[in-house]
Amino acid sequence: MSWETVIGLEVHTELATKSKIFCACTTAFGGSPNTHVCPVCSGMPGTLPRLNRQVVEFAIRTGLALDCDITRYGKFDRKNYVYPDLPKAYQVSQLYAPICQNGHLDIDAGGVPKTIAIREIHMEEDAGKLIHDPLTGSTLVDYNRCGVPLLEIVSQPDFRSAAEVLAYLEKLRETLLFLEVSDCKMQEGSLRADVNLSVRRTGETALGTRTEMKNLNSFRAIGRAIAYEAARQIDVLEEGGVITQETRRWDDDKGVSYSMRSKENAQDYRYFPEPDLLPLRVDDDWVERERAALPELAHQKRARYIADYGLSEKDAATLTGHKRVSDLFEALADKTAAPREAANLVTGELMRLLNRTGTLPEDLSADSGTLARLITLVLDGKINRNAYKEAVEAVFTEDADPDEYISAHGLLMLSDDGAVAEAVAAVVADNPKSVADYRAGKQQALGFLMGQAMRRLGGKGNPAAVSQALKERLN
Amino acid sequence: MQIDGALIAYLEDLSRLSLSDAEKTRLAGDLTAIVGYMAKLDELDTAGVPERSHPFDHTNAFRADVVGDSFDRALILRNAPDAGDEAFRVPKTVE
């Protein structure tokens, strides 16, 4: 008897606003504990939240990009639970009227297209961080992250495999990055996924009892956790057991998940409307303004690169792997009017340098003006391909000035000064036999003479200029 | 509505509170009175009154996305029953 795995995802993404959702504290990652904290986000009695308008704009944009209906009359609700990562003992979230509903995302899992339905997207506040203090055995709390705006993007249980889940997450991440609503850094927790998973016998239509897995910090961990949990549930059921609906924590080091007993009884959230925030009214004008502000998304860019620049699907995919990369490519294509050359530089030399130096695409900071200058130099025959590669690397690793670097390292090709004419004259004088052969019609003799001239110029001769000077002298 | 011992125990669990028997008895009385006071509203005829989430008609009270000063950490931590130099301190929660 075979089994089918059914998965739904809850993706949390921290929004790239400057300030928190309900107060003016910074959202910057990694400050000293409790230095990005004020009476509002630390839940002091008597304070009142005030909604950051940018959060709503980012939410609407995300909803539009995922083909959602935008809720016109929305509000916030309190989700009550007592846990020290939330100083108010409730999280301000949206249960009854989430800002976006009924969307979808088209994915391609290993060549198989599929549409994943998105049930809703709601706005909420992030919680603080708990740190175990081994000295005293107590728990320390850092509220810097508390109140950072989150979108929770909730899918329908439409996934049947880890591959589909990962294809969806890749596409969603790419969409959020190109919308510039989140930096999606999983290592900093700005993109997190909870996996709701159940299994059922193939052919059954009713859903099995699901578990929810948390603490999934990388795409790799998500893939492994899904495989583990599906196998665990099938084992339990095949041995005649029952699945307990519970929250499980994934331990990526040990490769196992375990039940989070501490939260077992805390599932009664007693939601009620948040009285401290006024309702939210989104009119047609606002939705249309956000629609007009939607940038070109990665899949749209890919189609354009292929159609307009004649790039391969593979190169187009590499160029849209991150917003920083496509931004750089487009700036280079624009400045040099040589999109193919710009694409070759980014997909070839720059990707190699990113890999070699272990630089993440989001940290790519190469200056487009500098690199464009190098492309122009190589296309104009001022430097050869080897010098071009060398200079690109110097610009990437040392932020070198291209013209200074080329002149300091003697990389400029010789084309129109006396050196080319002098070398050609010397080669013609030194090789009378080859000159005679060429004049008698032996084309390969020209190649030999060319090689000799280039050698005299120390490899810095512009091949076109040398070839022309040679032909002029011989004919 | 009668607030009984079972409900008090449930609320105690949800709120992570540990109450003495005397406190439980007093709380049951208080909560019964509070819920009874609110139940007075059930006597109103609300047929035909549209449901709403907020008593005011205003909407969209926003702030601009501008960073302001956070609070002095020492001042914020002073409000907590227990704190270290940099962080609030609570009973062991992390496993």
Q: Is A364:A324 a contact under the CB 8 Å cutoff?
A: yes
Q: What is the mean pLDDT of residues A232-245?
A: 93
CA distance B48 to chain A (A): 20
Q: Which stretches within A85-139 are classed as H helix?
A: none
Inter-chain CB proximity B88 and A277 less than 8 Å? no
Per-residue pLDDT band at A378 (split at 50, 70, 90): confident
Name the residue type at position A18. Answer: K
Name the residue type at position A172. Answer: L
DSSP A257-276: EEE-GGGTTTT----EE-TT
Look at the domain B1-45 and name its fold. Answer: Histone, subunit A (1.10.20)
What angle, 0 to 180 degrees and rounded to 10, lies between the N-to-C axes of helices A444-456 and A432-439?
Answer: 140
Nearest C-alpha in B relative to A138 = B92
In chain A, % of residues over pLDDT 70: 98
Q: Is A59:A100 a contact under the CB 8 Å cutoff?
A: yes
Q: Which residues of B touch A277 (CB under 8 A)?
A: 61
Q: What is the mean pLDDT of residues A300-322?
A: 93
Q: Is A457:A419 a contact under the CB 8 Å cutoff?
A: yes
Q: Let me know how many helices (H) and strands (E) chain B has, helices first.
A: 3, 2
The residues, ordered by sequence, that sit 6+ positions from A343 with a Cβ below 8 Å of its Cβ are A305, A309, A311, A315, A319, A329, A333
Interface probe for A, chosen from B10, B70, B77, B95 (most Cβ of A below 10 Å), is: B70
Query: What 8-state DSSP symbol labels residue A96?
Result: S
Whether pLDDT at A127 is above 70: yes
Instruction: Identify which of A208, A207, A213 has the alpha carbon closest to the alpha carbon of residue A195.
Output: A213
* CB-based burial label for A399 (10 Å; 0-12, 13-18, 19+): exposed
Q: CA A344, CA A315: separation in Å to the nearest integer?
A: 8
Query: What 8-state DSSP symbol labels residue A244?
Result: P
Stated as kind and residue range, the H or E segment containing A228 is helix A219-238
What φ, ψ does residue A201 adopt, rounded to 5°?
A: -70, 140
Which pLDDT score, from 0 to 100, does residue A233 have?
96
Which pLDDT score, from 0 to 100, does residue A456 have?
80
Q: CA A363, CA A322: separation in Å to the nearest integer?
A: 10
Q: CA A164, CA A105: separation in Å to the nearest integer?
A: 12
Q: What is the mean pLDDT of residues A87-95?
A: 95
Of A36, A275, A278, the CB nearest to B59: A278
* CB-based burial label for A292 (10 Å; 0-12, 13-18, 19+): exposed
Name the residue type at position A385. Answer: R
Distances (CA, A) of A207 to A5, A106, A277, A288, A370: 10, 23, 37, 39, 57
Nearest C-alpha in A relative to B84 = A140
Lowest mean pLDDT among A101-110, A172-181, A193-202, A210-219: A210-219
Which pLDDT score, from 0 to 100, does residue A136 have?
85
Distances (CA, A) of A446 to A215, A426, A454: 68, 15, 12
Of A24, A34, A39, the CB nearest to B77: A34
Q: What does the block give as tokens for A135?
A: 């000295």
In chain A, % of residues over pLDDT 90: 65
Whether pLDDT at A44 is above 80: yes
Beta strands in chain B (DSSP E): 62-63, 88-90
ipTM of the complex: 0.90
- Domain boundaries A418-474, corresponding CATH code: 1.10.10.410
Q: CA A266, CA B13: separation in Å to the nearest integer?
A: 8
Q: What does the block give as tokens for B21?
A: 């028997």
Which pLDDT score, from 0 to 100, does residue A383 have?
84
CA distance A263 to chain B (A): 10
Residue B89's DSSP bridge partners are A140
- Hey, where are the domains in chain B? 1-45
Whether pLDDT at A117 is above 60: yes
Inter-chain CB proximity B88 and A53 less than 8 Å? no
Which pLDDT score, from 0 to 100, does residue A410 have?
75
Q: Which residues of A touch B56 (CB under 8 A)?
A: 278
Nearest C-alpha in B relative to A131 = B94
pLDDT one-digit tens code per residue, A251-296: 989 999 988 865 455 578 899 999 999 999 999 999 999 999 999 9
| 3-state SS, residue A132 | strand
Which pLDDT score, from 0 to 100, does residue A459 have?
74
| 3-state SS, residue A220 | helix
Residue A92's DSSP bridge partners are A78
Residue A26's DSSP bridge partners are A19
Inter-chain CB proximity B73 and A140 less than 8 Å? no
Which pLDDT score, from 0 to 100, does residue A265 have?
54
Query: What 8-state DSSP symbol labels residue B63?
Result: E
Stated as kind and residue range, the H or E segment containing A171 is helix A162-179
Name the residue type at position A150. Answer: L
The residues, ordered by sequence, that sit 6+ positions from A296 with a Cβ below 8 Å of its Cβ are A178, A304
Inter-chain CB proximity B61 and A32 less than 8 Å? no
Of B63, B91, B92, the CB nearest to A53: B63
Per-residue pLDDT band at A439 (split at 50, 70, 90): confident
Q: CA A186, CA A192: separation in Å to the nearest integer?
A: 7
Taking the mean position of all CA atoms in its chain, how far away is CA A93? 26
Inter-chain CB proximity A19 and B89 less than 8 Å? no
Q: Residue ranges of chain B with pLDDT lower than 50?
A: none
Q: Which of A262-266, A319-323, A421-425, B69-73 has the highest mean pLDDT?
A: B69-73
Rg over alpha carbons for chain A, rounded to the nearest Å, is 30
Q: Is A166:A219 a contact under the CB 8 Å cutoff?
A: yes
Distances (CA, A) of A182 to A29, A173, A177, A458: 13, 9, 6, 51
Whether pLDDT at A144 is above 90: yes
Instruction: Identify which of A392, A304, A297, A302 has the alpha carbon closest to the alpha carbon of residue A341.
Output: A392
Which pLDDT score, from 0 to 100, does residue A261 have?
63
- Hey, where are the domains in chain A? 3-286, 296-408, 418-474
The residues, ordered by sequence, that sit 6+ positions from B34 with a Cβ below 8 Å of its Cβ are none
Q: Which residues of A touch B77 (CB under 8 A)?
A: 34
Distances (CA, A) of A213 to A12, A14, A261, A298: 13, 19, 13, 29
Whether pLDDT at A94 is above 60: yes
Nearest C-alpha in B relative to A249 = B95
